[in-house]
Amino acid sequence: MNGAASRFCLALTAFTVLAVGCRHPPNYPTLPIEQKYYAQGPWVVTTKLGFACCDSGNHKYDVFYPTNLGANGFKHPILTWGNGTLGTPSQVAYLLTHMASWGFVVIATEDQATGPGQTILDAAKYLVQANSDASSIFYGKLNVNAVGSIGHSQGAGGAINAFLHSGGLIKTVVPIELPSQVWSVQPLDTANLTSGSVFFIDGSADLLISPPTQPPWVQGEQSIQAYYDAVPASVPKLKGTLIGPNHNDIQGQPDCRLASFPCVNGVYGYLGYPTAWMMDRLQGDTYAHGAFVNATGEIFSETKNWEYVASNIQ
């Protein structure tokens, strides 16, 4: 037992002295690739809230990064995070710390309305500039050619918009619980994703905001399926619905006790494959890549926790 599962057991035994065993937490992975990246990575992580100021909306940046930056000459890829509506990076600290433990430097604007994507892009550009700033702790430590964006709800759309306006800086995007077009003032059209790569993720209980499918008579991109289908076939793309979670499970620390309503299981299911995706796309991890290959990838066999999986990854 490892990673989040072992921490879950320790928490349980603190309250149950006579416990002789421990069940796995919800959405615990059953197959080896997801299990590997579900576990905490090899890097010890430092968190600094309000690390720097400011983005174009005058919001501070929070950072989550490997403590021993640049160890053995490693250049850290960059991840930029987009908050959901009225959300803050501290609400998803468990997820962002997990990502950083796998060697990423994660930056998150404190903007609570990230839908346009500009502040998410500002954050990525801040780190790119820091890599060239001799006074920065990140000086010479980053791989500025390996940048990904990730976000939740409004921030999922923001992560896509940041990608679209990045001029090629951002290489891949992971939108989590992307709201259907009916919820958007300026509806997002994923047909505009003509480069890079994308992994759409939603929870099976999030039927109101981010449903996995839609009836054939419903117009527009009102589901993860429709968003996925709209992305051109030339773009590497993946989608999957995590069985159980609702709209705010991503805020689990790791369970739902500190998350906003609605939350069912907690962040557990969002740890493994999203991390593996970024390892594949930004660190060239061929083992992680094996999870996502069309039809034969591991995620297609992980039917206990994932459904509505589709991929064109070769």
45-99: per-residue pLDDT in tens? 999 999 999 999 999 999 999 999 999 999 999 999 999 999 999 999 999 999 9
Residue 75, in any domain of the structure = yes
Is 10 within a domain? Answer: no
**Using the 8-state DSSP alphabet, how is residue 68 labeled?**
S
What is the tally of structural domains in the chain? 1
Residue 51, domain member (yes or no): yes
Please give the radius of gyration of the chain, using alpha carbons only, rounded to the nearest integer: 18
Amino acid at position 163, single letter: F
Q: How high is the pLDDT of residue 22?
A: 63
Predicted confidence (pLDDT) at residue 15 exceeds the cutoff of 70: no
Q: Nearest CA to 107 among 136, 141, 147?
A: 147
% of the chain surpassing 70 pLDDT: 93
Helix axes 272-283, 93-100, angle to 10 degrees: 40
Q: Is the dihedral of CA 136, 141, 145, 147 positive or negative?
A: negative
Could you give the count of Cα atoms lying within 13 Å of 61 in the half-sphere of its Cβ? Answer: 26
Residue 1 reports pLDDT greater than 90:
no
3 lies in some domain: no
Judge whether 113 lies within some domain: yes
Give the Cα separation of 302 and 305 in Å (integer): 6
pLDDT band for position 185 (cuts 50, 70, 90): confident
Complete edge-to-edge strand list for the sheet that includes strand 76-82:
45-53, 60-66, 105-109, 76-82, 142-152, 170-176, 197-203, 237-242, 306-311
In a domain, 13, yes or no: no
Residue 6's pLDDT is what?
A: 47
The answer, as to whether pTM is greater than 0.85, is yes
Task: Scan for tokens 């390892």, then name that residue.
Answer: 279
CB 120 within 8 A of CB 155: yes
**Residues linked to residue 148 through DSSP beta bridges, in sequence order:** 79, 172
Q: Give the Cα separation of 72 and 130 in Å (integer).
A: 20
36 lies in some domain: no
Q: Name which of 192, 194, 212 is nearest 202 in CA terms.
A: 212
We report the CATH number of the domain holding residue 194 as 3.40.50.1820
Q: Is residue 207 part of a domain?
A: yes
Q: What is the largest CA-CA distance in the chain?
A: 58
pLDDT at residue 204, rounded to an integer:
98
Cα–Cα distance for residue pair 273/277, rounded to 1 Å: 6
Strands (E) in the chain, as ranges, are 45-53, 60-66, 76-82, 105-109, 142-152, 170-176, 197-203, 237-242, 306-311
Tell me if 201 sits within 8 A of 270, measured CB to CB.
yes
- Dihedral angle computed from the Cα positions of residues 96, 100, 104 and 106, in that order, rounded to the nearest 10 degrees: 40
> Number of helices (H) and strands (E), helices first, in the chain?
8, 9
Q: By CB neighbour count within 10 A (0-12 exposed, 13-18 middle, 19+ buried), where does 18 fall?
A: exposed
Tokens found for residue 157: 């759309």
Please answer whether residues 204 and 211 qualify as being in contact, where contact means their C-beta atoms are separated by less than 8 angstroms.
no
Domain with 212 in it: 41-311
Per-residue pLDDT at 10:
38
Distance CA 253, CA 92 (A): 7
Taking only the tens place, the pLDDT of each residue in 251-295 is 999 999 999 999 999 999 999 999 999 999 999 999 999 999 999
